[in-house]
Chain A
Amino acid sequence: MPLYSQWMNVSMSRLTNPVLSAITGCTLFFALNAQTPVQKTAAPADGRAPAPVRDISGTWQPESALAGIGPNGARDMPADGKHEPPYTAYGLELFKRNRPSNGTTEVAPAEENDPSHQCDPQGFPRENLFELRTTQIVQNPLETIILYTYGRIFRVVWTDGRDLPKDPDPRWFGYSVGKWKDDYTFVVETNGTDDRTWLDNAGRPHSDELRVEEIFHRVDRDRLAISVTIDDPKVYSKPWAAMNQLPMKRMPPTFDIPEMMCSPSELAEYNRRHAVKAGQAPAKK
Chain B
Amino acid sequence: MESKLRTTYVLALSLCFAPAMLLAHHGSALYDTHKRITVQAVVTDWLWANPHCLLEFDVKDDKGNMVHWNAEVSNPQDMVAKGWSKRMFKAGDQVTLTIMPAKNGEPIGRILEVVLNGKKYSGFVVEPTATGSTTPESSKQ
Contacts and interface: CB of A to CB of B under 8 A. Distances in A.
B51 A270 contact: yes
A148 to B, nearest CB: 13
B106 A280 contact: yes
Interface stretch (A41-49, A63-71, A169-177, A228-236): A63-71
Interface stretch (B5-13, B22-30, B83-91, B114-122): B22-30
B41 to A, nearest CB: 16
Interface string B29-44: 1110000000000000
A263 B26 contact: no
Contact of B77 (A133, A262, A280): A133
Residue of A103, A133, A266 contacting most chain B CB atoms (<10 Å): A266
Contacts of B76: 260
Contact of A279 (B25, B30, B50, B56): B30
Contacts of B70: 273-274, 277
Interface in B96-141: 102-106, 108, 125, 127, 129-130
B77 A258 contact: yes
A82 B21 CA distance: 14
Contacts of A117: 25
Interface string A22-58: 0000000000000000000000000000000000000
B51 A267 contact: yes
A273 B56 contact: yes
B19 A80 contact: yes
B84 to A, nearest CB: 13
A261 interface: yes
Contacts of A100: 27
B66 interface: no
Given A101-B26, A258-B80, A273-B70, A78 B50 contact: no
A269 B72 CA distance: 12
A281 B31 CA distance: 12
B29 A106 contact: yes
Interface in B34-89: 47, 49-52, 54, 56, 70, 72, 75-77, 80-81
Contact of A69 (B52, B54, B105, B127): B127
A89 B100 CA distance: 39
A187 interface: no
Contacts of B21: 71-72, 78, 80
Nearest to A108: B30
Given A106-B29, A270-B52, A71 B22 contact: yes
Contacts of A281: 104
A278 B50 contact: no
A274 B50 contact: no
B75 A260 contact: yes
A109 B26 contact: yes
Nearest to A282: B104
B77 A270 contact: no
A105 B22 CA distance: 15
A108 B130 contact: no
Given A101-B24, A261-B50, 9 more contacts: A69-B127, A71-B127, A78-B21, A100-B27, A106-B29, A266-B49, A267-B51, A278-B102, A282-B104
30 contacts: A71-B22, A72-B27, A78-B21, A80-B19, A80-B130, A101-B26, A102-B25, A102-B27, A106-B27, A106-B29, A109-B30, A117-B25, A258-B80, A263-B49, A266-B51, A267-B51, A269-B49, A270-B52, A270-B72, A273-B70, A274-B52, A275-B26, A277-B102, A278-B104, A278-B108, A279-B30, A280-B104, A281-B104, A283-B104, A283-B105
Interface of B: 19, 21-27, 29-31, 47, 49-52, 54, 56, 70, 72, 75-77, 80-81, 102-106, 108, 125, 127, 129-130
* In the A-B complex, the 5 residue pairs with the closest CB atoms: A66-B127, A266-B49, A102-B27, A106-B27, A282-B104
